[in-house]
Amino acid sequence: MLLVSYLLDGPKRFNDLRRDMPNISQRMLTLDLRALEEAGLVSRTVYPEVPVKVEYRLTEDGQRLKKVVEVLKEFGMWFKARP
């Protein structure tokens, strides 16, 4: 869900996502992105440039997760604020 929440802001490149989530390994990020792509929630666009530019964005189905992310964020804020 964290990865989806970052992609809700718009398309991002792999290294942008690595900066957003510094505690995730490159391998784990790659596996997560592939899983989301296989599920049809993320699309991967490769631009024919040197060096190759790859962008990840949420598909229409992925955009439907916005409400779920908002509820999880609200719960997290409530949970963090508890005494």
pLDDT in tens, 17-59: 999 999 999 999 999 999 999 999 999 999 988 888 899 999 9
Confidence at 71, pLDDT banded by 50, 70, 90: very high
**DSSP state at residue 24:** S
Output the CA angle 22-43-77, nearest 5 degrees: 45
What CATH number has the domain bearing residue 63?
A: 1.10.10.10
Q: How many structural domains does the chain have?
A: 1
Domain enclosing residue 17, as ranges = 2-81
Q: How many CB atoms lie within 10 A of CB 30?
A: 12
| Global pTM value | 0.84
* Bridge pairing between strands 12-13 and 53-58: antiparallel
Structure tokens at 57: 């964005």
Residue 83 has pLDDT above 90, yes or no: no
